[in-house]
Structure 1
Amino acid sequence: MKLYSIDTELFKLDGGAMFGVVPKTLWNKLLPADDNNLCTLAMRLLLIEDEGRLILIDTGIGNKQDEKFFSHYYLDKENTLDKSLSKYGFSKDDITDVFLTHLHFDHVGGAVDLVDDKLIPAFKNATYWSNETHCKWATQPNAREKASFLKENILPLQESGKLQFLRVPYHNEELLSFTKNISIRFSYGHTKAMMLPQINYKTKTIVYMADLIPTAAHFSLPYIASYDVFPLDSMTEKESFLNEALGNNYILFFEHDATVECCTIQKNEKNKIVIKEQFSVSDI
């Protein structure tokens, strides 16, 4: 097995929205905002080469939206999905599986391309993976999440026949087997039935955080984004996961932290969870 960190565009979101009810005087020390109260975030993907498969976790925001849409997010296009794949000698055509943690536009936008005025799957040789519970939630969106679930990111995948559904476990605590070395955790606070890959790699356990813990500034339990549909569930899920991660020395891989790619965690003298070691996936 080989793991590759795939950087796509940096983008910006409102700091208050990223930290919910927590005052700016507290969160700004951890993730400083600019003069417009915007925080810089990553859209970092994980590419897994294993047993003849090339699995991409999430796809970033993509490039098919119009300038007005992108103007809200201040994209830094120094890194793109294509550039990052090519750095390791891969292209989109090499991807065999696209695993979608959830269908918010910053996670699934790159799954579909606009070619000759037609929306088509961006990874022509890949199977796309979601789950029926979340897909139904995304295609019949509530008013709060409607702006994050864009039909142009989802319907072309459904119509192509390339979208497959994983089973949703009856118990939330159950880990679903995806491959020999990858299990799936389910989370319900940020959005319904979000999926978090848990990877066994070189005797280590790496968990792809998606939006359960978007950045290393979000370890404290009340630090929950306003985007989370069920914030109390987010807190419960985060607390349970962090206790498990502490006890088992898990490696956390951050999708949205612009500076911290991976870390292990520990409790400090004030009993707060902090970074123990920080590193890149290539250092593991």
Structure 2
Amino acid sequence: MTPPGRRRGGPRAIVGVFLGYAILVFFALVFLYPFVIQAASSFKTEADAAAHPLSPVPDPFTTAAFAKIFDSTAFPVWIGNSILVTLLITAGRVFLDSLAGYALARLSFRGRGAVTAMIVAVMAVPGVVLLIPKFLVLNQLGIYNTYAALVLPLLVDAAGVFIMRQFFLSVPPSLEEAARMDGAGVFRTYWSVILPMARPALITLTILSFQASWNEFPHTVVAVQSPQLFTLPRGIANLVSGSLGAGTQYPLKLGAALLATIPVAIIFVIFQRYFVRGAAEGGSKE
């Protein structure tokens, strides 16, 4: 017989479950508390934020920081640039990464293994190492300090190509053979037969691409110099550096950061189930 202490639902099991949930709640609070402070500080006065920086309750509650964000900064310009750049980069990555992933997964050509190995190797290279080469290339091409400099270098990423390749490898080849028997070419097979099946992977790639391009900061440092081309991360970094003069400006800075967080949070909440499903399916691929 099973000892009483080890029975399902016994005292030890209940204690274990309680401790497990307690640990999870503790780490959840540790992770979430900085975001709570960020949101609360956005509605504080300058004096309250400086005197009580870790208080989650604004005293008094005010929206003056948000009014100042739109009146005293170029926030509307930054958010407009971010929307334009993010949409172009996300659309380009979803199309080009899926196209490259399909080619590496299904097309036979000389050097395919070497190309795949180089893509995996690029994923291991820290992005900061490529900043100076990016600047030199953009300068030589004559597109430095333009919208093209913000978009073109980020249209394809190695991680996206790898994700799509792994998904396409799991698609049964019989589907492509049936499409070829019906007279479909390579691109028609990819576009009309295989791509609709890749919806979970495409949504995962869309979320990752949107988040990465929306929050991209290092590339903007070497790509543009004009304040009229600043995106949200570059503009907020300008605020953090003290561009408005004296004072900590905590409510202003944290309010701008809070506004910049909202679009990514909305996208993730809307497509969360597809993201989790795509990640689970990607993780089960060989």
Higher helix share: 2
Query: Shorter-normalised TM-score: what interval?
Result: under 0.3
What TM-score do the two structures reach when normalised by structure 2? Answer: 0.22
Higher strand share: 1
Relative contact order higher in (CA < 8 Å, ≥ 6 apart): 2
